[in-house]
């Protein structure tokens, strides 16, 4: 057994060396193969009567009418046009080229491409050992702190527009959250808890609601069932608030349930216009459960305080949570920028600033905007209404388009209320991209912008929404190639139809020039090799 184990590293090393040698020699093998093909064509030129075949083929091509060439080039243009349309659709939907993706995933292994070796080298340390890759924690999907109510808000949108505002991926994440939150603090699941566990997993909303009523029949004090009814069956915020209050009265000492219900009750009060009551409930909740900062209740508080225009209180909350050691969010960064912009925006003029320069307060505001835009570059287009807003998803990706949609949906009104703030944002936000190093190998104030946001945002946001991508992707090579091929063949078809004789002369001149090197090579081989050698070789 020990001998076998000891020989494995040697056999693995030999296999790796063999693979690397094959990959290295592949290019030279192709050149050798191409040269052998040319030699075989020359050797078999007389036995296979290739000269007579080419002559008859040229005679046949000369007898073809211009209509044939028009049909040929037109068909080529049509096929390349269809490929172009498919490639463009695939790129807009998935952000990559279909041909390129197939080539990389299927052809690269056949050509000896090894992904692991190339990527490991990027993070090699000085002593040659591979270092771990950088953390991708910024690509983690978070629960949206201000997510809407399904029955009272999301479903109403579906009834009016016929569109589904939530993706299956987003709702599946919510189901997992609810299963985690509402399992109860008892060591063994009660029958009604088992029913609710199944209810959260149901894809059909009506099946979830029926399961909630079944759990209530088993136990009238099943708080999780009332939470589900408040979220999904209640068609108004008032009705949802009544069901949440019922759930709160029977929640017992389950901390997860208490925090969730109290937070949603505070959001109900905010939506019903009782903003001071909502602020008090949020402050009490943060004071009662100070260790639950991961739930980002302070973002709910910031939005409610902005609605009250209590800017001093907003600044106090920011002073606590806008700390270098705490994770950032679009709400933190853009609210800080809003407060600084509000102090100077009412008197800000681009023309005056260009003449006299920026004051200290204006410079602080511009730097805060640049900081916010570097954290999430998608937000300004929604605040400036350059892109249309949709309902925010239930989960967001920090620094992604989903977070930008969620922030702008709730905070656009606060930016509009501050006179001149949007004008200052409009004049300064694009200057951020002159500060950030390009390519995005490192950031300016934050970590480099993650490359995983587009894929996650496409899963979180509905298909009818055009996902914002940063940095803007260049068109793949194959889209440009098929566009050029389609245009070129269409032009050839049109010219052949209009000027058949001239295009015939051009085609003959083109092919004679194309095959001239082959004829030159054959003549040189005739002069270099003795005729008896070729005669004996052809006999063989």
Query: What pTM did the predictor assign?
Result: 0.66
| Measured distance CA(386)–CA(468) in Å, rounded | 12
- For residue 121, the model assigns a pLDDT of 31
Q: Is residue 218 part of a domain?
A: no
Give kind and range of the element (H or E) at residue 411.
Answer: helix 401-417
- For residue 456, the model assigns a pLDDT of 87
- For residue 410, the model assigns a pLDDT of 95
Q: Is residue 483 part of a domain?
A: yes
- For residue 314, the model assigns a pLDDT of 94
Question: What is the rounded radius of gyration, in angstroms, for the C-alpha atoms of the chain?
Answer: 34
Q: Is residue 516 part of a domain?
A: no
| Measured distance CA(279)–CA(305) in Å, rounded | 7
Q: Is residue 495 part of a domain?
A: yes
Q: What is the total count of domains within the chain?
A: 1
| Measured distance CA(383)–CA(404) in Å, rounded | 9
Query: Please, is 244 exposed, middle or buried when counting C-beta atoms within 10 Å of its C-beta (0-12, 13-18, 19+)?
Result: buried
Count of C-beta atoms within a 10 Å radius of residue 404:
28
Q: Is residue 482 part of a domain?
A: yes
Q: Which residues of the chain have pLDDT under 70?
A: 1-31, 33-34, 38, 41-65, 92-96, 103-138, 183-187, 324-325, 432-450, 471-479, 511, 515, 518-540
Q: Is residue 330 part of a domain?
A: no
| Measured distance CA(255)–CA(184) in Å, rounded | 9
- For residue 1, the model assigns a pLDDT of 42
- For residue 478, the model assigns a pLDDT of 66
Q: In terms of residue numbers, what domain contains 488? A: 477-505
Residue with tokens 């194309």: 514
Q: Is residue 246 part of a domain?
A: no
Contact 343, 361 (CB under 8 A): yes
């Amino acid at each position: 057994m020990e001998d076998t184990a000891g020989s494995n590293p040697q056999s693995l090393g030999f296999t790796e060396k063999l693979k690397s040698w094959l990959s290295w020699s592949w290019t030279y093998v192709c050149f050798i193969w191409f040269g052998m093909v040319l030699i075989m064509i020359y050797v078999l030129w007389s036995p296979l009567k290739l000269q007579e075949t080419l002559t008859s083929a040229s005679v046949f091509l000369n007898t073809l009418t211009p209509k044939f060439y028009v049909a040929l080039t037109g068909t080529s243009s049509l096929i390349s046009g269809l490929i172009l349309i498919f490639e463009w659709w695939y790129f807009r939907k998935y952000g990559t080229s279909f041909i390129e993706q197939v080539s990389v995933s299927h052809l690269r292994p056949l050509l000896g491409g090894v992904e692991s070796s190339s990527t490991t080298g990027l993070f090699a340390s000085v002593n040659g050992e591979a270092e771990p890759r950088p953390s991708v924690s910024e690509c983690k999907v978070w629960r949206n702190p201000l997510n809407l109510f399904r029955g009272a808000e999301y479903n109403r949108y579906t009834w009016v527009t016929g569109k589904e505002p939530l993706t299956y991926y987003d709702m599946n994440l919510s189901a997992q959250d609810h299963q985690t939150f509402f399992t109860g603090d008892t060591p063994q699941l009660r029958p009604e808890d088992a029913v609710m566990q199944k209810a959260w997993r149901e894809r059909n909303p009506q099946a979830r609601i029926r399961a909630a009523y079944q759990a209530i029949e088993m136990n009238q004090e099943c708080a999780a069932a009332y939470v589900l009814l408040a979220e999904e069956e209640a068609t108004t915020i008032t009705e949802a608030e009544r069901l949440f209050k019922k759930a709160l009265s029977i929640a017992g000492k389950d901390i997860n349930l208490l925090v969730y219900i109290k937070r949603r009750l505070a959001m109900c009060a905010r939506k019903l216009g009782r903003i001071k009551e909502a602020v008090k409930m949020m402050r009490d909740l943060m004071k009662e459960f100070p260790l639950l900062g991961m739930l980002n209740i302070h973002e709910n508080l910031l939005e409610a305080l902005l609605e009250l225009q209590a800017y001093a209180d907003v600044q106090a909350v920011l002073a606590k949570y806008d700390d270098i050691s705490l994770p950032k969010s679009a709400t933190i960064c853009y609210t800080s920028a809003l407060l600084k912009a509000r102090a100077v925006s009412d008197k800000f003029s681009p023309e005056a600033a260009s003449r006299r320069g920026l004051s200290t307060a204006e410079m602080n505001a511009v730097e805060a905007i640049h900081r916010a835009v570097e954290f999430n570059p998608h937000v300004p287009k929604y605040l400036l209404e350059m892109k249309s807003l949709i309902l925010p998803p239930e989960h967001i990706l920090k620094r992604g388009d989903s977070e930008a949609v969620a922030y702008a949906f709730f905070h656009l009104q606060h930016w509009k209320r501050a006179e001149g703030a949007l004008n200052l944002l409009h004049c300064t936000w694009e200057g951020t991209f002159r500060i950030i190093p390009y390519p995005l190998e490192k950031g300016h104030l934050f970590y480099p912008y993650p490359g995983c946001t587009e894929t996650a945002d496409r899963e979180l946001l509905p298909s009818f929404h055009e996902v914002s991508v940063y940095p803007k992707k260049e068109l793949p090579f194959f889209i440009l190639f098929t566009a050029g091929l389609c245009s070129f063949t269409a032009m050839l078809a049109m010219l052949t139809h209009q000027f058949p004789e001239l295009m015939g002369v051009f085609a003959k001149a083109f092919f004679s020039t194309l095959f001239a090197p082959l004829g030159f090579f054959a003549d040189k081989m005739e002069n270099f090799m003795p005729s008896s050698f070729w005669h004996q070789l052809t006999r063989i």
